[in-house]
Structure 1
Amino acid sequence: MTQAPMETLALMETLAGADPAARTACPGWTVHELVAHLAAGAKENADLIEDVLAGRPTRATRSFDEREAVFVAMPDEQLRDELARESTRKLAAVDALAARGPDATYDFTGRKFTAAIARMHGHSEAALHRWDIVGDDEVGETLLVAPELTRHAVEVLNTLPILYEAPAPRARAAGVSRLRVVLRSPAEPDVVLAITPDGARFELRDVGDTAEGDAVLTTDTAHRLLAIWGRGTPQHPVTIAADPRLWATVAAVLWGSAS
């Protein structure tokens, strides 16, 4: 079986010393509730992949609340054991799917996932949720600057509107129908959050293809990835080139508040 990736290993090491009652950067979640989310997600993915491998009929992905409730109710020690068990199941299932070829897929939250996408989503989730627990540190910086995580964020957020971090839900929550925000990091391709009356999506430009927008935010690569996922920290400087009257709107779209 494929060895657990470095993002997962770093997350597990962080969880080993984390207080289950501690608050996280995920709104309303303690560490225990975040672990329940991870365990439930691993189980759901494993179940769906195993159905495909066994030739069973496919089913819709269960909602977050439906699949997470049983894990939230567990004592924390049992929950940690379940996270390890379900994560191992998921890794094995993804390996088995990969063995069927690069085009083999399963349905997850309304779209097709290949083994490669599932693995990258796992890398991304582990890196982000580790940050949700510990915030800024050297390990997190190393994980979050990986360019493949930015590419994955743009792709998956555009195709999984069920996520509250997806562009359309963020635009609706902020009450914004037209805005173009460029997220820029030195030596990296620009990412654009484009909102129009017809919808909202992220765009990843080519290196050297400078984007234009109503606002241009420049920050480091790790913090830009956090912003794409609706997260932020005052420890990372941000410069903004825009009409000052737009600042509150940009903040509302990116971080859910005007502050």
Structure 2
Amino acid sequence: MAVDPPSEIDSFLEALQGVPPRSLTACDGWTAHEVVAHLVSGVELLSEQARAHLDGGPAPVVDDWAVRDLPYQAMDDAVLRRRLEAGERDMTKLLEQLDPTAVIPGLGWGMPVGEIVLHMRQEFAVHRWDLVGDDDPGDEVLARPELLAHSVRMLQESLLARGLSGRNDGFEARIRCPGQPDLLVEARDGKGTLALVDPGDGPAVHADPAARLLLLWGRRPADPRRVRSELSPSELLRLQQLLRGF
């Protein structure tokens, strides 16, 4: 009998068991404790917002995520880890009661409910890598095509914002994976776009699916052989500057 692949949260929690709270991560300035604090802050806020909508009350809002995370960062790490698992289960149950196509005022980031679910799945997949780096279970979740498609649909403005800062030149490049659409990255007149397009045959950066999502989020796999470039040095540098992530 076929066994369902682990969810992103289950894969994250399994990896987290072997990570001490003060281990450094791929997130600048954050140890594992701060990564968990950020995730608990997010799942509990979404739970509060979804519950408020279902109860017909006002939804809590966040003006500054860094400020919201501070009380969570001050918590005992064991408590945080318990709250992460319980909070994610609570959030999932609440979101399942909502129309996945609906954009609900005061819930999440102005995305349809189904995109919020995908966003949190992606958060767990990417932050898992931030904790433990490259491994086969992580590659499996990062390679899920629906996560890349979510980023392209919903996050291009935020994912490209840092790399676009102060640049107005025109640029485009493709990141290619065998058997999948090309990821087209464009910058023009100070604005950037992402698109999944039919595969081309021109120069491109080639990567496996998991590595491609990491590149989009401003990260690089530990093994440089997983990413190969046919671009000129200046084009590759510009692409790397664009894909700086959050």
Q: Same fold (TM over 0.5)?
A: yes
Opposite residue 9 of structure 1, the aligned amino acid is: D
SS in structure 2 at match of 1:111: coil
Partner of 1:169: 162
Of the three residues 203, 225, 228, the one matched with 2:216 is 228
CA distance in 2, matches of 1:205, 1:152: 15
Mean CA deviation greater in 73-82 or 27-36: 73-82
CA distance in 2, matches of 1:254, 1:112: 22
Larger RCO (alpha carbons 8 Å, 6+ apart): 2
CA distance in 2, matches of 1:62, 1:48: 14
CA distance in 1, matches of 2:77, 2:57: 33
Pair 65,255 (structure 1): closer, same or farther in 2 beyond 3 Å: closer
Please report how far the alpha carbon of residue 58 of structure 1 lies from its aligned counterpart in structure 2 after TM superposition: 4.4
SS in structure 2 at match of 1:105: coil
Please report how far the alpha carbon of residue 110 of structure 1 lies from its aligned counterpart in structure 2 after TM superposition: 4.2
Please report how far the alpha carbon of residue 155 of structure 1 lies from its aligned counterpart in structure 2 after TM superposition: 1.4
- Contact conserved, 1:182 with 1:211, CA < 8 A, in 2? no
Partner of 2:112: 113
Relative to the length of structure 2, the TM-score reads: 0.87
Partner of 2:24: 23
Partner of 1:185: 177
- Contact conserved, 1:7 with 1:123, CA < 8 A, in 2? yes
Partner of 1:128: 126
- Contact conserved, 2:162 with 2:242, CA < 8 A, in 1? no
CA distance in 1, matches of 2:6, 2:211: 22
Of the three residues 196, 201, 206, the one matched with 2:188 is 196
Partner of 2:47: 46
Q: Deviations over 1:127-165 (max 9, x none)?
A: 11111111111111111111111111211213xx4x4xx
Q: Deviations over 1:93-113 (max 9, x none)?
A: 11222xxx3433334454233
CA distance in 1, matches of 2:201, 2:55: 47
**How does 1:41-120 map onto structure 2 within 5 Å?**
41-58=42-59, 60-97=61-98, 101-106=99-104, 107-108=106-107, 110-114=109-113, 116-120=114-118
Q: Deviations over 1:66-95 (max 9, x none)?
A: 221110011111211221232222112112
Partner of 2:236: 247
Task: Name structure 1 gaps, 5 residues minimum.
Answer: none
Task: Name structure 2 gaps, 5 residues minimum.
Answer: none
Opposite residue 132 of structure 2, the aligned amino acid is: V
CA distance in 2, matches of 1:102, 1:251: 34
SS in structure 1 at match of 2:213: helix
Aligned residues: 240
CA distance in 2, matches of 1:140, 1:193: 24
SS in structure 1 at match of 2:35: helix
SS in structure 1 at match of 2:204: strand
Q: Percent identity of the aligned residues?
A: 29
Q: Deviations over 1:203-250 (max 9, x none)?
A: 1114x4x286xx621111110111111110241422222232333322
SS in structure 1 at match of 2:239: helix
CA distance in 1, matches of 2:51, 2:63: 15
Please report how far the alpha carbon of residue 55 of structure 1 lies from its aligned counterpart in structure 2 after TM superposition: 1.7
Cα RMSD after superposing both structures: 2.4
Q: Moved runs in structure 1, 4+ residues, more than 3 A? A: 57-62, 101-105, 107-110
SS in structure 2 at match of 1:29: coil
Opposite residue 218 of structure 2, the aligned amino acid is: G
Mean CA deviation greater in 231-240 or 119-128: 231-240
- Contact conserved, 2:164 with 2:190, CA < 8 A, in 1? no
CA distance in 2, matches of 1:65, 1:245: 35
CA distance in 1, matches of 2:18, 2:171: 42
